[in-house]
Amino acid sequence: MTACIDAAAWLTLEAIPGLGPDAAQRLLQAFDGPADILAARSAQLEPVVGSTLARAIVQGVDAAALQPGLDWLAQPDNHLVTWLDPAYPAALRDLAAPPAWLYVKGDPAWLSRPMLAIVGSRHATPQGLRDAEAFAKSLSEAGLTIVSGLALGIDAAAHAGGLAGLASSVAVVGTGLDRVYPARNKVLAHRLAAEGAIISEFPVGTPPKSGHFPRRNRIISGLSLGVLVIEAALESGSLITARLASEQGREVFALPGSIHSTLSKGCHRLIKQGAKLVESAADVLEELGRLLPTPLPAASLASAPIGAGDSLLEQLSGGPLILDQLASRLGLTVEDVSVKLLAAEMDGTVAKLPGGLYQRLF
């Protein structure tokens, strides 16, 4: 769950010019981890990523370039969670091009909880801000960790609401984690790092770049069971997040508003396209309840007593759990639990749900 063993190898891999999530994914599937990739010969790499990238990997990077990342990782509460790490969020593994690594400031365990994204306009109305905070708080109380993008407006209000509830909040940003953008959210960022998490797939030192926001948005939606949009104009980033959510098979929820408000037009378009119109937190829970046949019990998400039972099915009788929770309750490794779960899925006694949750069927 904590930092990686071979951080330098991961940081090297990440610093290879032109290596994106797609190529990283192919490499990780073909080799035994980053050190193995970096030790490979060009002839081994070429069939996987082509000659240009293979050359760049063999050439490597200047060790000095890795120092800022290594320094950052040396600080407390800073982590690199990689595709090979059991703490890597199961929900992201489903994506077409999942990030190969995530920088995490805070507790990576938050990333494996059932999450709901709440996004919306940076220029929200006072009512929109109140709604975002109230929905986030209620849904966090109900056990959904609130994901958003740490922008001003709806994002910030959603994080505040999530932090005020039981299941906290996770921010996904499009910059390096040493840079909090916008600066006005610095206090909020500190609270998120302490009580939830802030994550990024971009290396330390990455400044805000408009091209990074859609990549950031796919993680916001990818981590989540659904995306709730509260106040969004047409042509806004929130609609991109909603579209990505829809493509990723996540639920899309939107708050309606006056037909005379510019900030309702984005939500209304989503509803016309099939998003669920939401008037209350119950509307969201009702829909996600169909994905999680037993309601999300706040208690099961707070730390449950460990060792209260030892069978897999017994552990799941209180409601769906994620792999990590099962492993820690059973006192087994994640790999051992994975094997048990696969057997149970094949027996038809357990089903895998979106968000990396496992549910007992019988």
Q: Which parts of this chain interact with its own copies (CB under 8 A)?
A: 127, 131, 255-260, 264-265, 268, 271-272, 276-280, 283
36 CB-contact burial (10 Å; exposed 0-12 / middle 13-18 / buried 19+): middle
262 or 349, CB closer to its own copies? 262
DSSP assignments along 201-229, one per residue: SSPTTPPP-TTHHHHHHHHHHHHSSEEEE
Q: For its own copies, give the closer residue by CB, 38 or 255.
A: 255
Q: Which is nearer to its own copies, 41 or 272 (CB)?
A: 272
The answer to whether 251 and 276 are in contact (CB under 8 A) is yes
For residue 230, the minimal CB distance to its own copies (Å) is 10
Through-space distance between the first and last CA atoms of the chain, rounded to whole angstroms: 31
Q: Tell me how far, at minimum, the Cβ of 237 lies from its own copies, in Å.
A: 21
Give rounded-to-5 percent helix, strand, coil for the chain: 50, 15, 35
Nearest to 36 by CA among 26, 23, 27, 48: 27
Q: Where do the H-state alpha helices sit in 142-280? A: 154-164, 186-195, 212-223, 237-247, 262-272
Nearer to its own copies, 62 or 279 (CB): 279
Residue nearer to its own copies on the CB measure, 14 or 131:
131
Which residue lies nearer to its own copies by CB, 256 or 309? 256
Task: Give me the half-sphere count of Cα atoms (radius 13 Å) on the Cβ side of residue 228.
Answer: 33
Is 281 or 292 the residue whose CB approaches its own copies more closely? Answer: 281
Q: Compute the least distance from the CB of residue 5 to its own copies, in Å.
A: 49
Residue 182: asked if its preceding bond is cis (omega within 30°), the reply is yes
CB of 255 to its own copies, least distance (A): 6
Smallest separation, CB 167 to its own copies (Å): 23
Pick between residue 257 and residue 320 the one whose CB is nearest to its own copies.
257
Nearer to its own copies (CB atom), residue 234 or residue 339:
234
Q: What dihedral do alpha carbons 65, 67, 70, 75 form, nearest 10°?
A: -140
* Shortest distance in whole angstroms from residue 282 CB to its own copies: 12
- Interhelix angle for 126-141 vs 281-291, to 10°? 40
Instruction: Quote the CA–CA distance of 102 and 7 in Å, as a whole number.
Output: 12
Closest approach, Cβ 281 to its own copies, in A, equals 11
Cβ 256 to its own copies shortest distance, Å: 4
For residue 177, the SS3 value is coil
Residue 198 sits at the vertex; the CA angle it makes with 181 and 168, to the nearest 5 degrees, is: 120
* 246 vs 359, beta carbon nearer its own copies: 246
Q: CA–CA separation, 226 vs 220, rounded Å?
A: 10
If we measure between CA atoms, which residue out of 115, 143, 138, 194 comes closest to residue 304?
143
Residue 272 CB partners (closer than 8 Å, separation 6+): none
From the CB of residue 307, how many other CB atoms can be counted at a distance below 10 Å? 9
